[in-house]
Amino acid sequence: MEQIIERTSPWLLRRHPFLGATFSSSPSDDDEGPSTSFKPDQTERRRRKGHPAIDPLTPPPPASEFPPYEPRDFFRYELIHQSKKSAARVGRIHTPHGVIETPGFVAVGTNGALKAVPHQELAAAGVDLMFANTYHLMLQPGPDLVASAGGLHEFIGRDAPIITDSGGFQVFSLAHAGEKDGLEMKSRKPSKHKDAAGLLVKVDEDGVLFKSYRDGSRVSLTPESSVEAQKSLGADIIIPLDELPPYHIDRAVLERSVFLSHRWEARSLKAHLRDVRRQAMYAVIHGGVDEDLRRMSAEYLTSLPFDGFAIGGSLGKDTAELIELLGHLMPRIPKDRPNHLLGIGDEGSILGSIPHGVDTFDSTFPTRSARHGTLLTRTRGRVNIRRSENSTTHEPPCWECACRLCRHHTLSYLHHLDKAREPMMWTLATEHNLHYMGWLMRTQREKILNDEV
């Protein structure tokens, strides 16, 4: 234990020096993914250290341990129009740094920056909310440095809403890199670390222990330390720590994971309520594609005073399964608070989710697609800029788009930039796809207002 503590991130260590051990992450018997298994020897170690044993299905704290929910003066959801045709709705989320029009797309700026594009472009594109990842910012430059700069808004120069996650998604997705995990629980091997599957060292009742993909050093992340990191970052909306099992997982293992996430989220909420700092916290509803577990998760988390509700974990193997999941889950989510669908941003999933009342969506899909040469357009559909016919197409990608690419350049020019590996290609294509997402959400809001969706 002393060796683990010595190699743990100093920022987290001085705040949470104890790394307990009750559960550990290891392959299940049928090799369908990691399982959260109870180990008697670890139970005995907890007893010796004064920590009681925790059964995997121990229920989380009851709602009676929390104050009742009351709308914040700095954060609230305003319903503008409820469609007469479906559960789709138009609203506004009021935050300390501005209003978020919903339904709305959320751009992902992993390290506090959009790749190849200044975040100021989001306003021109009509994208109100930006996502930043606590995991990456925790490893570099560190929450303390960001706090010393005045918080993330000051550090990156953004006077508009920001949401940060707990860091858990990156920890678990890197650990499951390469597995077919279904929607949201998507994972890719990090470019700077060959042994992605070895990054997750341990999952236990206290939190997770993982290796930094930057230098291999061990870092602990607990519900409390994740909240404290997000307090230092100062985002308008923050997320509690949760466990993210993959799509292919035994039902009993998934049930234990949901209970663990509930206990972690309750601890996160208590830490948040001790020092709110004009920040809102969204719960993360889990349960995979199991209807009973999703219902149980929704019933428990909506009984707590969270400011909004995110839908996370594995969301199905495809869009059809996602939409089916939302059909029985969304009616259980309070209508007086905002909701968010984590990690979903392709057009088909968005258009299928909005009629169920989803407010916001975050994804790297449009920006990542742009860097790989795919443009999302109103008139041509998806355009692969690398196709040979685009080398002589002296027309803009979309005559109706107001982005810089479509106003001043052509497909042939962008094809040339891509072939020459000019970084300007990334910038122009990413700006265009962000403008497309802004247009898509704006048209959906208009259709809802007209009761067409």
DSSP-based three-state secondary structure for 367: helix
The three-point CA angle 160-164-166 to 5° equals 170
Nearest-angstrom CA–CA distance, 358 and 163: 17
**Tokens coding 14:** 């001085």
Kindly list the distances between the CA atom of residue 164 and the CA atoms of 20, 167, 221, in Å, as whole numbers in the listed order.
26, 8, 15
- Running DSSP on this structure, what letter comes out for residue 8? B
Query: By the 8 A CB rule, do 170 and 161 touch?
Result: no
Residue holding tokens 């594609």? Answer: 289
Q: Residue 389 burial by CB count (10 A; 0-12/13-18/19+): exposed, middle or buried?
A: exposed
Cis peptide bond upstream of 103, omega within 30: yes
Specify whether 31 is catalytic.
Answer: no
Secondary element (H or E) of residue 413: helix 411-419
Query: By the 8 A CB rule, do 253 and 292 touch?
Result: no
Kindly list the distances between the CA atom of residue 93 and the CA atoms of 2, 43, 96, 97, 123, in Å, as whole numbers in the listed order.
46, 44, 10, 11, 16
Contacts of 447 (CB under 8 A, 6+ apart): 453
Compute CA 379 distance to the chain's CA centroid, rounded to the nearest angstrom: 30
Catalytic residue among 206, 290, 362, 418: 362
Secondary element (H or E) of residue 211: strand 207-211
**Tokens coding 207:** 């939190």
Specify whether 346 is catalytic.
Answer: no
Catalytic residue among 128, 165, 236, 418: 165
Amino acid at 16: H
- Running DSSP on this structure, what letter comes out for residue 151? S
Give me the DSSP letters along 311-352: E-S---SSHHHHHHHHHHHGGGS-TTS-EEETT---HHHHHH
The three-point CA angle 359-332-81 to 5° equals 40
Give the strand pairing for 23-27 and 34-38.
antiparallel
φ and ψ at 350, to 5 degrees?
-65, -50
Length of the chain: 453
Active site residues: 165, 362
